[in-house]
Homo-oligomer: A and B are copies of this chain.
């Protein structure tokens, strides 16, 4: 079974850049990758907060959160 990777972003240039590069480098044979746009999918904000995400772009690998650079804080997306 593949591991789960979720990339949370908000469509800003920092996010798009990280999405293309970092997500592009992941091993898709081992990871199922989902991309969540928190600017439009506001229903996923609670889930992101629960994971401990404070800003986007952020990458969750099996529930562990890694904030990548800084695009926008989660508070600004509400």
Chain A contacts to B: CB under 8 angstroms = 3, 5, 17-18, 21-22, 25-31, 59, 61-62, 64, 66-69
Do residues A31 and B25 form an inter-chain contact, with CB atoms below 8 A? Answer: yes
- Oligomeric state, in copies: 2
**Beta-carbon nearest neighbor of A27 in chain B:** B27
Do residues A21 and B64 form an inter-chain contact, with CB atoms below 8 A? Answer: yes
Report the Cα distance A67→B30, complex, angstroms.
23
**Beta-carbon nearest neighbor of A60 in chain B:** B21
Report the Cα distance A25→B3, complex, angstroms.
9
Do residues A61 and B28 form an inter-chain contact, with CB atoms below 8 A? Answer: no
Do residues A69 and B69 form an inter-chain contact, with CB atoms below 8 A? Answer: no
Which of A3, A22, A64 is the most central at the interface, judged by chain B CB atoms within 10 Å of its CB?
A: A22
